[in-house]
Copies of this chain bind each other. A is one copy, B any other.
Amino acid sequence: MPPRGRRTESLSKDAIVAAATEILDADGEDALTFRALAARLETGAGAIYWHVANKDELLTAAAADAIDRTLTGVDGIADPREALRAIALRVFDTVDDHPWVATHLARGLGQPGMIAVLDAVGQRVEELGVPTDRLFDTATAVLSYILGGAGQNAANARRHAQDAQAGSRAEALGQESQRWAGLDVDRYPFVRAMADSLRDHDDREQFLAGVELMLDGIGAQKR
């Protein structure tokens, strides 16, 4: 056993980001503090600042890693429609598994790694035959939907996890469905009518239905 004092293994930005990701995945965004991170890395809180400028850089780097991992493999899919579905689902699942990533997806193209997502989406949109002068608008619209849909799902999942203290996710959904069914029919006729749909829906399928809607829109605009 080494004597108390200097660390034996040296710190690195990669090791710090990896440890931060573990904390974020295990205990959520609030649990990531420099003190907790330092404890896990068996170092002092100030040591981390030698490798990362501040907490924002740390979170940005952790999210960028997660986003980079998201896209691996999708370039092997030949059909552009299939590829777009796959890209969308990858982002969706990444956010579902790591809700803390959603915060950084909301930063849009300012978030490192997001350029790669836009490029992947844009290439497939181009392959679908969208005219050059509509490529940018179309690709960013698809990206906006993907990020919005993934973010909404993560928010709903977080909320249902909170609501259902001891119960299951299905129970929380059932409770919200009942709340919808009890809404004023004059003020919220649509949402009220959707109470059953809410109870029975599947988040992934619903998200994919939106992707399909955009693909159909792209197809319609070609005519």
Chain A residues close to B by CB (< 8 Å)? 102-103, 106-110, 115-116, 118-119, 122-123, 126, 134-141, 143-149, 151-152, 155-156, 158-159, 183, 187-191, 193-194, 197-198, 201, 205-207, 209-210, 213-221
Contacts and interface: CB of A to CB of B under 8 A. Distances in A.
A209 B110 contact: no
29 contacts: A103-B106, A106-B151, A107-B159, A108-B156, A109-B152, A110-B159, A115-B183, A118-B191, A119-B187, A122-B190, A122-B191, A123-B189, A126-B190, A134-B209, A136-B198, A136-B201, A137-B205, A137-B209, A138-B209, A141-B149, A144-B149, A144-B210, A147-B148, A147-B151, A148-B148, A213-B214, A213-B217, A213-B218, A216-B220
A125 B188 CA distance: 14
Nearest to A176: B109
Contacts of A106: 102-103, 106, 151-152, 155
A221 B218 CA distance: 12
Nearest to A104: B155
Given A115-B183, A159-B110, A217-B214, A141 B135 contact: no
Contacts of A107: 155, 159
A193 B135 CA distance: 10
Given A110-B158, A137-B206, A141-B213, 12 more contacts: A106-B151, A107-B159, A110-B155, A118-B190, A119-B189, A135-B194, A140-B152, A140-B206, A148-B148, A151-B151, A216-B216, A216-B221
